[in-house]
Structure formats: C-alpha cells, structure tokens
A = this chain, B = another copy of it.
Amino acid sequence: MTDQRNIGFQDIRDEVLNRIQTRIWPQGSLLPTELELAAEFGVARATVNRALRELADQGIVTRKRKGGTRVVTTPVKQARLPITVVRQTIEEMNAEYRYALVSRTLIDCPAWLQAKLGLPEGTQVLHLQCMHHADNRPFQFEERWINIAAVPHVADEDFLTVGPNEWLLAEVPFSNAEIAFSAVPATGQLQDFLSVPPGTPLFQLERTTWFQNKPVTFVRMTFHQGYQMRTTY
C-alpha cells in the first residue's frame, strides 16, 4: 500500500491556478473543457466543475455556457474584510474592553437621515452616542441612529451595559449593510472623547444596515488616532 491520496478538487484547483500563474494558460486564453480536464486528471467532470467554480468565485476565471472557461484579462481581486464587533476586536488584542453610554435620546428623524434611509416623515429614531475603550484608552466613538419601527422593543433597552452594536447583532442578525470608509478631522465631541488635538486625522467607518429591505440603523464609528484596519487577499 502506498500512502498516495487520490487527487481531489483542491489539487485540481491549485494546479489550474498554478498553470495560470506560470502563464501556461495566459490571461485571456481559453482553458480545456471540463471533460478534457477530467480526462487529464482522471476524475469525474463534477470534480473539475467544483474546482473551476471556486476559481470563478475568486474572480480568476470567467465561465460561460458553450463559451468555455477563460482566464480573466484584468483580475479584480476582492479583499474580504471581516466586520466584527468592537469588543471582539479589542479582546483579540488581549486588551481589556470597557463600554460607556454617553447619551441616549428619542428624537424625530433628522432630514438628512430620513433621506439617507428613505424613511417616511415624522419617524421616531433612537439616537445613541457611546465610547469603547481598550485598556482604559479611548478606542472608538460610536454615534448611532436606530429606526424604532424596524426594531420595536429597542425603546425598552437602556444600553447602559451592552453596546448597541452587540445588541442589534443579537436582535437583528444577518442583515445587509452598506459601508463607507474615510478619513475625517477630529472636531467637537471627537476631540474630547478620543483625547486628540483638534483636526487630528481619524479613521471613520459609516454603515447603513437593512433587514429584509427595511432600514434598521445608521452608525458612524470613529477610531482612535493611528488606527489601522487590516486584511489580506
């Protein structure tokens, strides 16, 4: 008995990727058909299909019925950046997490937010401001507006001990969101809460969240000076 394992779809995926990287199959070229590859590697067509589909998901190749499988000419790789709750981010740094509610008010939806979320006039929203600390140093200032209609019993929650991010994640999980990253100057409250001189460049993340096509919340998260968001692809 040899310990030679049978080749699987991952081996085929890797080998095909290798041939693309080494220009055996250059950009824009047509790959052999699934049937041909299945014959070459000695596997079923379904196995080749699985391998090529993964490469297609990664944007390495494009596939068309009848047209065959083609190496893309201009690879548009996608960076996948995991969006976690602040507490988790901080705890992964082996730092102590501390949360503090700054303000909590029930207000009429401001016009800009009404437009942004497409809410009817006169909608009530819960406006929250909170701070997240790591080892007693300011980490993130969070300003959030929640559509009461979308999450009725949010009005009963005081948010004194649990942050709105985590609360909403438990209440309305698996929602859709739109995110925008930018650099903003420290002004007004930001200077105070993040303990930085006015005008300091800060990394900011804005996110609008929907649950089943209904707007739930808009949040603006501003990070401490020098924060970097990292990912690989």
Please report A residues at the B interface, Cβ cutoff 8 Å. 17, 20-21, 27, 60, 74-85, 88, 169-170, 173-174, 176-185, 199-204, 211-212, 226-233
Contact B27 A179 (CB under 8 A): no
Can you add 14 more A-B contacts, CB < 8 Å, to A76-B82, A176-B232?
A: A78-B81, A79-B82, A81-B81, A178-B232, A181-B228, A181-B229, A182-B203, A182-B227, A182-B228, A183-B201, A183-B204, A184-B201, A199-B199, A201-B202
Copies in the complex: 2
Residues from chain B with a CB closer than 8 A to the CB of A203 are 181-183
Residues from chain B with a CB closer than 8 A to the CB of A21 are 173-174, 211-212
Contact B75 A27 (CB under 8 A): no
Which of A77, A170, A174 has the most B CB atoms < 10 Å from its CB? A174
Given A17-B174, A174-B20, A212-B21, also A179-B83 (CB < 8 A): no
Closest residue to A84 on the B side, CB-wise? B76
Which of A75, A81, A201, A204 has the most B CB atoms < 10 Å from its CB? A201
Contact B232 A75 (CB under 8 A): no
Which residue of B20, B176, B227 is within 8 Å of A233 (Cβ)? B176
Contact B179 A75 (CB under 8 A): no
Which residue of B173, B180, B226 is within 8 Å of A27 (Cβ)? B173
Sorted nearest first, the 9 A-B pairs with minimum C-beta distance are A201-B201, A183-B183, A183-B201, A183-B203, A182-B228, A78-B80, A181-B229, A180-B228, A180-B230
